[in-house]
Chain A
Amino acid sequence: MILNEQSMELVNLVKEFVDNEIIPHAAEYEKKNEFPEEILDKALDMGLGALCLPEELGGLGIDNVTMFAIAEELARGDLGIATTLIANCLASFPVLIAGNDEQKKMWFDIMQEKKYAAFCLTEPNAGSDASGMQTTAVKDGDDYVINGTKCFITNGGIAGIYTVLAVTNRAKGIMGLTAFIVERDREGVSIGKEEDKMGMRLSNTCEVIFDNVRVPKDHVLGREGRGFKYIMQTLDHSRPGIGAFGVGIARRALEIATAYSRERKQFGKAICNFQAVQFMLADMAMETEAARQLYLHCAQLMDAGLPYTMEAAMAKTKGSDVSVKAALDGLQVMGGYGYMREYPMEKLVRDSKILQIYEGTNQIQRSVIANQLLKKIK
């Protein structure tokens, strides 16, 4: 598909920002092991932290196509920065899906004031299998009291507000899970270990601990016992964004590898003259475009109000697989130089890998796709 003029303008604006403010500086922050607050503040001023804020609450009201195309641009700059910004949408989706008007207003007011939000699903013993979760929320008068530890939470240490999934009725299995809004400054909320990650180092990933955290019952999103459903809808909605991230990284790998192949001379000519190198570049380009069309197609289905569960899983899986392959092949094109920290390619290898893991591993995605397929055939 081709983006319309208005989407294109917004995407180009983000590209300009990425070229001028992210790409030249991201590596320095990574080297210094520093959170890129200055870059993020500029991005937030542009409105990039609230892409999903509805128009009636003062947001952009952009469609999913535009939102994910922007995600691609951000990831081309730096996956950590992209993840930090887009995690705000991930955390907001349960509120948009199940929240009432007051909850939406409260949520977005706090998110915009405190800059970041986080989505708390994963636990040490509940990753792919959310039903194994141990965090509980026990009703006590007009309140719920939440206890448990969430791990690997993007923006966990910097968010001002969280969406949290907890067990309200263990006997009911996944129908006993409930989604809550929890503010960071509630008593009993604390930040545990900050993860030291292989890649995506400009993103904050932390443990979030809930120790007898009391929230009023108006912090329940939608209906008690429906949390799992809302979270599955949330992940469906956010997955094409991960596909778009993959496309952004693959595009960057292709750009760097193409430029390098024209500069580097061996056997008396630029290595781009060797067919083996050309074919790697051609495959990278072809796969990147295929992955782009998948996430855009999924976004188009969403915007049209059509079902998209299978396409979302496809877009996520394809985009992430393509990015890992493109980064590795891009590194191969650069030979030994690609392996060196001095050059930007090895970072793409380290960054891209997470895309096959978070928001549901690619194995889980393939199960989702197969389930949908088998359902259709039946």
Chain B
Amino acid sequence: MNILVCIKQVPDTTAIKIDPVKHTLIRDGVPSIVSTFDAYALEVASRMKDKDKQSRITVLSMGPEQAKNALKECISKGADEAYLVSDRVFGGSDTLATSYILSGAIKMLEEKNGAPFDLIFCGKQAIDGDTGQVGPEIAQHLDRALITYASDAVMEDGKLKAKRESDEGYDYLTADLPAVITVVKTAYEPRYPSLKGKMAANKAVIPTLTSQDLSGLDLAHCGLKGSPTKVRGTFTPTHEKNGQKIEAETGDEAGRTLVKLLSQAKLIG
């Protein structure tokens, strides 16, 4: 199996603060990490590789040069090779442009490999941008089957079997390959890097793919120019604790209290 995992290097949002005056992120001194769900995606992929040792995992990221550190971390956890997409003209890309450029890079790698990736993994969303659009957009650009929000996935009889969280419980979905899959938090934690992986990561040479390498791309669809999203303004949401916890001996009693409160607030008739 030939697997690709798209990973984004993000600031550790659990450590980030927002400037209350300028409404911008205070990035100083905040460590960069592999976006959480991408780390889970890599773990799902690595478990597939554990079962089928012939598999190869490639990781791909678009970002500045320092995103190579995130790619190296993936190699230390078992990825076989990594590519960084980086070019000034790609800067300022929104999700549409990002997914267009990533798809261009994927096509280029597939041409080089002489075959499409059997599986393309993404996180359900990047923990900074949070849109959750890039994965599905890649599936669209490449015209591949798509399974979103998988909390686990395995290969069975040459097909992808995924477990997806839904409000009612779990959906079990099957897809033919090649396919794109986006991953949520799994029941298991991502593995530690192996010592060997760490040594391999240190030695790894990670090629940078620029707009010249991705000659199939129409630059009008890349970067700021190719990004229809316009940020009109930003604000810091206020976190007010205005929830109320209803505590009662029985569910029945709690239900009655709830109805009373809601009707007092004129939310129900």
Contact = CB atoms under 8 A, between A and B. Distances in A.
A47 B191 contact: no
A47 B195 CA distance: 6
B198 A13 contact: yes
Nearest to A44: B194
B202 A46 contact: no
Contacts of A21: 192
A46 B192 contact: yes
A9 B194 contact: no
A6 B196 contact: no
Nearest to A53: B196
Contacts of A45: 191-192, 194
Contact of A60 (B191, B192, B195, B202): B195
A47 B198 CA distance: 11
Contacts, number: 33
A17 interface: yes
A4 to B, nearest CB: 12
A60 B195 CA distance: 7
Contacts of A48: 195
Interface in B146-202: 191-196, 198-199, 202
A16 B76 CA distance: 14
A225 to B, nearest CB: 37
A10 interface: yes
Interface string B195-218: 110110010000000000000000
Contacts of A62: 195
Nearest to B202: A6
A17 to B, nearest CB: 5
B198 A9 contact: yes
A60 B196 CA distance: 6
Interface in A28-49: 42, 45-48
Nearest to B193: A13
B202 A47 contact: no
A9 to B, nearest CB: 6
B199 A10 contact: yes
A56 B194 CA distance: 18
A329 B138 CA distance: 61
Given A6-B199, A6-B202, A47 B192 contact: no
A255 to B, nearest CB: 22
Contacts of B196: 47, 60
Contacts of B194: 45-47
A158 to B, nearest CB: 22
Contacts of A60: 195-196, 199
B119 to A, nearest CB: 22
B192 A17 contact: yes
Nearest to A10: B195
A47 B199 CA distance: 12
A16 B194 CA distance: 12
B201 to A, nearest CB: 9
A48 B194 CA distance: 8
Interface string A8-20: 0110011011000
Contacts of B199: 6, 10, 60
B192 A10 contact: no
B204 to A, nearest CB: 13
Contacts of B191: 42, 45
A42 B188 CA distance: 13
A9 B72 CA distance: 13
Contacts of B198: 9-10, 13
Contacts of A10: 195, 198-199
Nearest to A46: B194
Nearest to A58: B196
A112 to B, nearest CB: 13
A225 B30 CA distance: 62
A13 B201 CA distance: 13
Contacts of B202: 6, 9
A91 to B, nearest CB: 19
A45 B50 CA distance: 11
A16 B195 CA distance: 12
Contacts of A9: 198, 202
A17 B196 CA distance: 15
Contacts of A13: 192-193, 195, 198
Interface of A: 6, 9-10, 13-14, 16-17, 21, 42, 45-48, 51, 60, 62
Interface of B: 191-196, 198-199, 202
16 contacts: A6-B202, A9-B198, A10-B195, A13-B193, A14-B195, A42-B191, A42-B192, A45-B191, A45-B192, A45-B194, A46-B194, A46-B195, A47-B196, A48-B195, A60-B195, A60-B199
What are the 3 A-B residue pairs with the smallest beta carbon separation, nearest first?
A47-B195, A47-B194, A46-B194
Given A13-B198, A46-B194, 15 more contacts: A6-B199, A6-B202, A9-B198, A9-B202, A16-B192, A17-B192, A21-B192, A45-B191, A45-B194, A46-B193, A46-B195, A47-B195, A47-B196, A48-B195, A51-B195
